[in-house]
Amino acid sequence: VAGQSNAMAYGEGLPLPDREDAPHPRIKQLARFAHTHPGGPSCHFNDIIPLTHCPHDVQDMQGYHHPLATNHQ
């Protein structure tokens, strides 16, 4: 899950599926609106939905965790 939601407002357009800015199917985001993207399917708050726009600074966060957290949390 990417740490970004569909509430982001940077004036971005939806990426073209055959371009370099196309979202990767494994990267998801948290829903903050009633639809996954304008005119898209409906969703609920905090649903995990596909990333529907060009991600900014996608970073692998697997190595960053709270010192008291375990791998199953």
**DSSP codes joined into one string, 12-56:** PPPPPTTSTTPPPTT-EEE--SSBSSTTS-B--TT-EEE--SPPS
Tokens (6 digits) for 4: 């970004």
pTM greater than 0.85: no
Tokens (6 digits) for 63: 């190595």
Task: Please count the other Cβ atoms lying within 10 Å of the Cβ belonging to residue 51.
Answer: 22
pLDDT digits (tens, 9 = 90+) for 16-32: 666 666 667 787 888 88
The pLDDT of residue 39 is 82
pLDDT digits (tens, 9 = 90+) for 10-67: 455 565 666 666 667 787 888 888 887 778 889 898 888 887 666 655 566 667 767 7
The pLDDT of residue 57 is 55
The pLDDT of residue 25 is 78
